[in-house]
Amino acid sequence: MKQTDGELKYPVGIQTFAKIREGGYVYVDKTVYIHKLIKQGQFYFLSRPRRFGKSLLLSTIEAYYEGKRYLFEGLALSTLADDWEPHEVLHIDLNSGDYRNIEGLNEVLDSYLQRWEKKYSINNTYTSPGLRFGSIIRRAAETSNKKVVILVDEYDKPLLNAIDDKVYAEELRVVLRDFYSTLKTEDRHIEFAMLTGVARFSKVSVFSDLNNLRDISFEEAYSGLCGISDRELRIYFTEGIRLLSEKTGLTVNQTFEELKHRYDGYHFAVGTEGIYNPFSLMNVFSANRMDNYWFESGTPSYLVKLLRSGDWILKDLSGYTVGEEVLKSSGIVTKDPIPALYQSGYLTMVSYDRELGMVTLDYPNAEVKQGFLKYLLPFYTASVPSRTDFDIASFVREVRNGDIPGFMKHLTSMVAGVPYSEKYRPSESHFQNIIYLLYTLLGFYVNMEMKTSDGRIDLVVSTSIYVYIFEFKIDKTAEAAMAQIHNKHYWLPYLASDKKIYLIGANFNTSTRRLDGWISEKVED
């Protein structure tokens, strides 16, 4: 293998195994898992969040089945595998394509089918993608005198585009069901098959005829198949961590802890160790800088549709408890955001009650929580994506400077532009979500003490100089909010802090969709 000279190279955006190995890039050896897959089964399905190494996994499997042993020099599979005879590999990637209509899906499938028909000299009279695919599998097996390998990357990408369009979703399912059912009818010609995606397939009707797939998404033995474990981080990225610690001024151990806080925490099976997002880590070490990389690489618009259609209270997502089986269902079909958020990587398991079979969920790390809430903000306020960082930065400055009129004016203007349509009418929960989003994002920069609204303080924001105590009312008055603060003496626990304490009462009007009044008072010594 070609070795890297000097500075380590990190494969940012490279998802091809051969390019990584031949280019001398850092590669975290996952081939022991591949050996286990090959030995233990034939048909597999794996669900993992986007940018989590699924494409690289399939590319590595493809290289093995093509007999490219030289690429595996020094890796576990080079000594574990005893059969390196090449097989015909049919690799489909649905990640790229225009799926705004059914023609887009047919065009992508047709491009693969035409390429293989030309390769295997097939003059196909079939019009069905599934029948054409079947004839290709048979001819490929006959040509090589060996069974064929089938790899499908991001099988669900077209479906995610149709999450709020039942008619179009059904069109997609009909085409995909016809296509994927070929894996069962032609199984005698298939050596190995693996499909990957974000959403699990258990209730997606495209797999109703395909009951021979083994779903390893929740299997403990494969929880580390994609992503990077703490052990792997310390083995493969020692030099990157050292350079990062020098730049940040942190110790090596402090750097480990900061990386864990930002990028670790994904759990794909109950009771397993946390897994780091590989895309984020590769970007961190390549740029020698910690930032929010994963979230900026894509936008989960279908998740916002699910959350808003169900009128969810966003703060309830953190610490949400659900039956383990719910996580295995498909949010695409049920329109339930919880399994969709889990499978997409925005929530993860943090604890498990074995007796009751209940799982508690939370954001896996700071990168996901901050990125997701920042992305949601424009969908609930008048903020636009290009100004979100500016709006948050303005809030931070105004809060730190004690500029109450400034940040309340800012809040009023954002609420005044709450989106409204016949399909989506802001409710009381919508305004609760605005406050949660704004001040949780603010909490990444100043100290926060979030409270529930069952008679306790709605919100406390603390800086080095100020303590702000908020009470929000819905369809009442700012005076009523202030009266509750006084009646319950919310400021008393903060008198010993020697900080300037301000009380703020405000009211949201659901009819006008505005913050129609606020008042403030300073607590005198």
Q: Which amino acid is at 522?
A: K
CB 158 within 8 A of CB 111: no
243 is written with which tokens? Answer: 């350079």
Pure H helices in 73-190: 76-80, 102-119, 129-144, 157-160, 166-180, 182-185
Taken as a whole, the chain contains a residue count of 525
Residue 448 confidence (pLDDT): 55
Residue 420 confidence (pLDDT): 54
Question: Does residue 182 share a domain with residue 35?
Answer: yes
Percent of the chain with pLDDT over 70: 90
- CA dihedral sign, ordered 278, 281, 285, 286: positive
Q: Which residues does the chain have with pLDDT short of 50?
A: 1-5, 203, 422, 452-454
Q: Is residue 5 part of a domain?
A: no
CB 468 within 8 A of CB 399: yes
Burial of 265 (0-12, 13-18, 19+ CB in 10 A): buried
Q: Is residue 58 part of a domain?
A: yes
pTM for the model:
0.87
CB 467 within 8 A of CB 494: yes
Residue 283 confidence (pLDDT): 96
According to DSSP, the β-strands at 228-229 and 148-153 are unpaired
User: What's the rounded Cα separation, in Å, for the pair 271 and 294?
Assistant: 25
Nearest by Cα to 402 from 350, 466, 445, 342 = 466
Residue 2 confidence (pLDDT): 41
CB 163 within 8 A of CB 332: yes
Question: Does residue 306 share a domain with residue 289?
Answer: no
Question: Does residue 360 share a domain with residue 318?
Answer: yes
Q: Is residue 347 part of a domain?
A: yes
Residue 5 confidence (pLDDT): 44
Range of 150's domain?
Answer: 17-222
Residue 418 confidence (pLDDT): 61
User: What's the rounded Cα separation, in Å, for the pair 292 and 311?
Assistant: 27
Q: How far is CA 282 from CA 16, 27, 264, 495, in A?
A: 15, 10, 13, 47
CB 439 within 8 A of CB 372: no
What is the number of other CB atoms lying within 10 angstroms of the CB of residue 87?
A: 21
- Domain count of the fold of the chain: 4
Question: Does residue 417 share a domain with residue 469?
Answer: yes
Question: Does residue 304 share a domain with residue 289?
Answer: no
Q: Is residue 371 part of a domain?
A: no
Residue with tokens 């290709």: 136
Helix (H, G, I), strand (E, B) or coil at 2: coil
User: What's the rounded Cα separation, in Å, for the pair 89 and 325?
Assistant: 34
- Given 336, 366, 396, which residue is the final one in a domain? 366
Question: Does residue 164 share a domain with residue 38?
Answer: yes
Q: Is residue 399 part of a domain?
A: yes
Nearest by Cα to 373 from 388, 386, 360, 361 = 388
Radius of gyration of the chain (CA): 26
Nearest by Cα to 150 from 210, 214, 197, 89 = 89
Helix (H, G, I), strand (E, B) or coil at 437: helix
Triad 139, 16, 96: Cα angle to 5°? 75
Nearest by Cα to 272 from 356, 352, 342, 362 = 352
Question: Does residue 285 share a domain with residue 263?
Answer: yes
- Given 324, 341, 366, which residue is the final one in a domain? 366
Question: Does residue 513 share a domain with residue 415?
Answer: yes
Question: Does residue 389 share a domain with residue 360?
Answer: no
> What CATH number is associated with residue 174?
3.40.50
Residue 380 confidence (pLDDT): 82
* Helix, strand, coil share (%) of the chain residues, nearest 5: 50, 15, 35
Residue with tokens 């609204």: 453
Residue 67 confidence (pLDDT): 97
Q: Is residue 394 part of a domain?
A: yes
- Given 248, 264, 296, which residue is the final one in a domain? 296
Which residues, 6+ apart, have CB-to-CB distance to 59 below 8 Å? 15, 16, 17, 18
Task: Give tens-digit pLDDT for 189-235.
Answer: 999 999 999 877 554 556 666 677 899 998 999 999 999 999 999 99
Question: Does residue 242 share a domain with residue 212?
Answer: no
Pure H helices in 249-351: 252-263, 278-287, 301-309, 324-327, 331-334, 337-344
Q: Is residue 8 part of a domain?
A: no
Q: Is residue 194 part of a domain?
A: yes
Question: Does residue 188 share a domain with residue 52?
Answer: yes
Question: Does residue 333 share a domain with residue 198?
Answer: no
508 is written with which tokens? Answer: 């949201």
Which residues, 6+ apart, have CB-to-CB distance to 242 below 8 Å? 252
